[in-house]
Structure 1
Amino acid sequence: MPTLSASLPPFPAWRPAQAGLLALLLTLTGQTSQAQAQAQTPRGSAGKTPVAAPAATFTYDHHEAAMAFADDLAQRRGLDPAWVRAQIGAAQRLPGAIRLVQPAPGGTPKNWAAYRARFIEPVRLRAGQAFWLAHRETLARAEQTYGVPASLIVGVIGVESLYGQHTGTFRVIDALTTLAFDFPPQHPRAAARTEFFRSELEQFLSLTQRTGMDPQALLGSYAGAMGWPQFMPSSWARYAIDFDGDGRIDLFNSPADVIGSVAHYFQAFGWQPGLPTHYPVRFDDSRLDLSTLLAPDILPSFSLDSFAAKGALVDVGAARHTGKLALVELENGQAPRSYVAGTENFYVVTRYNWSSYYALAVIELGQAIEASLPPP
């Protein structure tokens, strides 16, 4: 997925690629809303009527900037201008999406334990076990092809959409158009994110025109993420693959395409086969330099020796680790914070969603599901 900045953003990182973002923001800050319930309502394949359709308060057919964008997009992409205008013009403004992209209120402690409990729980574990058993051969093929563990693939799909049960009820065209032309101006990064959503809208219309999908029928998250893996349009265009060999890519109905696409995504971002994602870490208080260790955030920046010199000691299992490490800090509300030593592969997982909380949740969910499987 494209990022909005070359540098790591402060936590909670904003990443509209996945439905898991909504759970992240609302769980960590203690917020609940009707929009959350709508976004988490089960739905089936693409093209079905939204469970909770937004009220038609405004459409973009007379929005000057939107129509100018449509004409420019059509010219640059070689699309029919009338068709592009019709698609964008029929989009409805979503007040809920505008509200949900606002920064979370400050001052509320983040809570790793609460976030983890949302995903490492019986319903998701049972669903993940059933998914793994049903698609064992496809998962093994994806792991062999791309080097990405089946547990990580299963963990991501489980967190993102509960194996296709929660993929969003917002029309993607509505979400993307709303955030492309009505992103809240008071947001500290409004200009960059407006451009991001305009780019995603362009990718979406190009994708649907190229594949024959109906842009008015596809449903997704409030930010325009689609399918079981909750790919934004640009990620669909760049990383989604036809893994079932039927000649088309379908992230709404083909578990094989979903599995292959998630694995391909991680490979594209530099996954290193055989490298752990993280190690346990303990502190030597006599030489602990916590501020220096945390300064790079989750970007691996320290060798094993320099890590130890600053008071962070990794589990003996990491003795052969030769790459860089990052000290990953996880808040637990008012309780003591948790820490792990993240590797380059941990950082790769965060490219799916810019959050160490998210990364550790998908890793631990996948591992828990794998541990629960009966012998083959």
Structure 2
Amino acid sequence: MTDLPRPSNRFPARRFALQALTAGAAAIALPTLAAPRKDEELPPYGEREDVMRFADEAAQRQGLDPAWTREALARARFVPAVTRLIMPPPAGTAKNWAAYRARFVEPLRIRAGLTFWAENERWLSLAEERWGVPAAIVVGIVGVETIYGRNTGGFRVLDALATLSFDFPSGRRDRTPFFRSELEAFLRYCRQENLDPTEPLGSYAGAMGMPQFMPSSLLRYGIDFDEDGHIDLQRNPADVIGSVAHYLAQFGWERDAPTHFGVAAPVEVRDRALLLVPDILPSFAAAEFAERGARLDEAGRAWDGKLALIELANGDAAPVYFAGTGNFYAITRYNWSSYYAMAVIELGEAIRRQRR
């Protein structure tokens, strides 16, 4: 799920959602933190009345011990780097599919992916059997997200979420409510798993573990796939694989269906523009593609589901086009980007080919 928040990736809980925590549960002792370095400028939140008020309200909503919640948030620190990294890229930044692809479909990730697949073939097979999500897609996601756990982020999740909850920067649409809900989910997860909230590390946006789940997604879609009593997306590949496959299944993954087909985009600008209006949402039948002058490959012409015309800009070169299915759309629910989804697909396929 990369570093940017995904506004609509966080839907109401499904049947695998974790139970609310009870207020009477024993509190987790939090260790004393070393004083921050002077150049880090990390003032504590414990002296702010608005933060302590939020702690009490969050504790009531989530069934947490108020004293534990206050103590946890008192140890959160403001991180200036988080407020810089959350800002959008400069206006006018050109998209380039070839450059984007080269970042992810490359030798390091392919080698690491081969090892990850070989070491976890059993779990990948079980996940595909249960949810219908191919191993290559799961492997592609974990590879694009963190290179199989090598780059999971170096920010304390507590600090990142507190910074974005209480000091969200001006200059972009305010996402304070989103990050406050994620902060609550994070505290709930820590209480459920008996974790010290100051220990988990993640991205500047608060995403955690090998698959970079935001805390609410971890609660809603995380799976204890090896049934050891814990959901661990940081060190347990079984749980990572099960959680990624379960997530995609909950967002409509269709067993044995392709992700995309080849297509030549319409020559007429108006026809091409009309097909691009729904963006990545599959909205047209193959016959409607043909009516607008889009030439699908043979498999695409035979497809009886809806399709989306996907355009990947290539800088100064011609764009790349293909027809995305519902399964392509399901991958974009993990990260709202057609570039991301295609990188996942192509990395997974590159690794699968080398396994032969």
Q: Normalising by the residue count of structure 2, what TM-score does the alignment of the two structures yield?
A: 0.88
Counterpart residue number, 1:157: 142
The SS at the match of 1:70 is helix
CA distance in 1, matches of 2:275, 2:6: 29
Aligned counterpart for 1:142 among listed residues 104, 109, 127: 127
Q: How far did 1:312 drift? A: 1.3
Counterpart residue number, 1:278: 260
| Per-residue CA distance 1:73-120 (angstroms, 9 max, x = gap) | 112222221211111121111111111111110112111101100111
Counterpart residue number, 1:102: 87
CA distance in 1, matches of 2:296, 2:140: 25
CA distance in 1, matches of 2:232, 2:277: 41
Counterpart residue number, 1:41: none
CA distance in 2, matches of 1:105, 1:180: 23
**Matches of residues 75-90 of structure 1 in structure 2 within 5 Å?**
75-90=60-75
Aligned counterpart for 2:117 among listed residues 129, 132, 153: 132
Counterpart residue number, 1:225: 207
Counterpart residue number, 2:188: 206
The SS at the match of 2:93 is coil
The SS at the match of 2:170 is coil
Name the aligned partner's letter for residue 176 of structure 1: L
Counterpart residue number, 1:268: 250
| Per-residue CA distance 1:198-234 (angstroms, 9 max, x = gap) | 0000000011112101111110111111111111100
Matched, 1:60 2:48: no
The SS at the match of 1:93 is coil
Q: How far did 1:286 drift? A: 5.6
Structure 2 segments unaligned to the other structure (5+ residues): 8-30
CA distance in 1, matches of 2:207, 2:48: 24
Counterpart residue number, 2:23: none
Counterpart residue number, 2:160: 175
CA distance in 2, matches of 1:333, 1:154: 28
| Conserved 8 A contact 2:307-2:324 | yes
The SS at the match of 1:338 is strand
CA distance in 2, matches of 1:306, 1:288: 14
Q: How far did 1:285 drift? A: 2.2
CA distance in 1, matches of 2:125, 2:299: 26
Name the aligned partner's letter for residue 206 of structure 1: R
The SS at the match of 2:64 is coil
Aligned counterpart for 1:294 among listed residues 276, 287, 292: 276
Name the aligned partner's letter for residue 140 of structure 1: S
Q: How far did 1:347 drift? A: 0.5
Q: How far did 1:364 drift? A: 0.5
Counterpart residue number, 1:38: none
Name the aligned partner's letter for residue 299 of structure 1: L
Counterpart residue number, 1:319: 301
The SS at the match of 1:340 is strand
Aligned counterpart for 2:101 among listed residues 95, 116, 119: 116
Q: How far did 1:247 drift? A: 1.8
Which segment is superposed worse, 63-72 or 90-99?
63-72
Aligned counterpart for 2:318 among listed residues 336, 341, 344: 336
| Conserved 8 A contact 1:288-1:311 | no
CA distance in 2, matches of 1:123, 1:15: 23
Aligned counterpart for 1:241 among listed residues 193, 198, 223: 223
TM-align CA RMSD: 2.1
The SS at the match of 1:352 is coil
The SS at the match of 1:110 is coil
Counterpart residue number, 1:16: 5
Moved over 6 A (4+): none
Q: How far did 1:319 drift? A: 2.7
The SS at the match of 1:154 is helix
Name the aligned partner's letter for residue 110 of structure 1: K
Q: How far did 1:335 drift? A: 1.0
| Conserved 8 A contact 1:17-1:225 | no
| Per-residue CA distance 1:155-192 (angstroms, 9 max, x = gap) | 000011101111011000000000011111321x21xx
The percentage of aligned residue pairs carrying the same residue is 55
Matched, 1:91 2:76: yes
Aligned counterpart for 1:360 among listed residues 337, 342, 351: 342
Name the aligned partner's letter for residue 348 of structure 2: G
Q: How far did 1:67 drift? A: 1.6
Aligned length: 329
Which segment is superposed worse, 104-113 or 353-362?
104-113
Name the aligned partner's letter for residue 73 of structure 1: A
